Homo-oligomer: A and B are copies of this chain.
């Protein structure tokens, strides 16, 4: 019984649910024949990484150079940093390129040139394409810019052109399988058009996409070479709202002591705030914000069967969470009890907590970035 030992906000990781999520996605990748390069920014953990290894995964994605070094130390030797090249980290990039197959993301020719001039070992370059999210990347029709970038890559023998990489982050705005399918098929079509244009000169070039809603909801992912979803390893309330998962597939939950109850407002106060959950939220039907949804502690894990009417966390300050109950649910907890919560955005909650407690009882590590090591 892990709940009896919990004294403060603790991020539980249900090993059973998590391994099942990993297995299902690996099987989908195998059956559809694309390369599965999971994004490790969600879990940021050596132990969770080892569960992917057990399923045969050898190539991974991360979102920072520091995270790449963290996983390289743990034996991962083919890593894509799916974030625009930060040339100020050139020393760490060079060190990584010396030891692993390092794949980087370019969004402009100037940075590729700076990189090319500094390198002593081979680095593989993906050109980031904006498939519609409009965060960053080159518009697919800007072939002049793409041509210039490839020209610069070709000038440096230590740079290799890998292909085009996109991230359909706008699938997160969808609310049905149809919408997610449309976003995904659109992205695939943009990328395959680019592949057609450039593969006559670069026959080895690949196209890479990867978002959890498409990975989870689209039955046939189409003519992609590589897919890089990350969030599916844990899922969360945001993904459940989109339709990527059921509540029962969410593999992490926050355990928080209840420290006060207010019968006149049907509210609990929990020890668990913005520094623990992070502040992503959903908007409920009644207009209230939802920062977490109650689940019932059961054995060393939790059960989602009784969660239909909440309670929900409706606001978070630094250490406090305010929970709105109904007459029915208010009596579920009193001060001193542990309450358990599905998070809205598991990547952010995991990063804020910086460690996990396994439902099997042990500690599970999480990368923590520091300026000084």
Residues from chain B with a CB closer than 8 A to the CB of A6 are 88
Are A63 and B335 touching (Cβ within 8 A)? no
Stretch from A118-126, A272-280, A299-307 contacting the other chain? A272-280
Query: Is A269 among interface residues, defined by CB-CB distance under 8 A?
Result: yes
Are A371 and B262 touching (Cβ within 8 A)? no
- With A64-B319, A66-B8, A111-B336 in contact, is A83–B271 under 8 Å at CB? yes
Query: Is A289 among interface residues, defined by CB-CB distance under 8 A?
Result: no
Residues from chain B with a CB closer than 8 A to the CB of A215 are none
Interface residue from B136, B279, B371 paired with A279 (Cβ < 8 Å): B279
Query: Which residue in chain B gives the minimum CB-CB distance to A64?
Result: B319
User: CA–CA, A257 to B8, complex, Å?
Assistant: 35
A368 to chain B, nearest CB (A): 7
Interface residue from B259, B274, B347 paired with A278 (Cβ < 8 Å): B274
Residues of chain A from 289 to 344 with CB closer than 8 A to chain B in the complex:
317-320, 322, 334-336, 338
A115 to chain B, nearest CB (A): 11
A54 to chain B, nearest CB (A): 25
Query: Is A100 among interface residues, defined by CB-CB distance under 8 A?
Result: no
Are B336 and A87 touching (Cβ within 8 A)? yes
Query: Is A242 among interface residues, defined by CB-CB distance under 8 A?
Result: no
Are B318 and A275 touching (Cβ within 8 A)? no
Are A348 and B275 touching (Cβ within 8 A)? yes
Interface size, A (range): 35 or more
Query: Is A351 among interface residues, defined by CB-CB distance under 8 A?
Result: yes
Are A317 and B169 touching (Cβ within 8 A)? yes
- With A135-B322, A269-B135, A317-B135 in contact, is A357–B335 under 8 Å at CB? no
Query: Which residue in chain B gives the minimum CB-CB distance to A67?
Result: B319
A355 to chain B, nearest CB (A): 6
A269 to chain B, nearest CB (A): 5
Residues from chain B with a CB closer than 8 A to the CB of A320 are 83, 135-136
Are A136 and B86 touching (Cβ within 8 A)? no
A77 to chain B, nearest CB (A): 23
User: CA–CA, A6 to B259, complex, Å?
Assistant: 41
Query: Which residue in chain B gives the minimum CB-CB distance to A357?
Result: B371
A345 to chain B, nearest CB (A): 9
Residues from chain B with a CB closer than 8 A to the CB of A64 are 8, 271, 319
Are A348 and B8 touching (Cβ within 8 A)? no
Residues from chain B with a CB closer than 8 A to the CB of A216 are none
Q: Give residues in A with beta carbon < 8 Å to B.
A: 6-8, 10, 41, 63-66, 83-89, 91-92, 107-108, 110-111, 114, 134-136, 169, 257, 259-262, 265, 269, 271, 274-275, 278-280, 317-320, 322, 334-336, 338, 347-348, 351-352, 354-355, 357, 363, 368-372
A6-B88, A136-B320, A279-B348 provided; 19 other pairs, C-beta below 8 A?
Answer: A7-B88, A7-B89, A8-B89, A8-B371, A63-B319, A83-B271, A83-B320, A84-B259, A84-B335, A87-B335, A108-B261, A111-B336, A114-B336, A134-B265, A135-B269, A169-B317, A274-B278, A275-B348, A355-B372
26 A–B contacts, CB within 8 A, in A order:
A7-B88, A7-B91, A8-B86, A63-B318, A64-B319, A84-B260, A84-B335, A86-B271, A87-B336, A88-B338, A107-B269, A110-B334, A110-B335, A114-B336, A135-B317, A135-B320, A136-B262, A136-B269, A275-B351, A275-B352, A318-B348, A352-B352, A354-B368, A355-B371, A363-B371, A363-B372
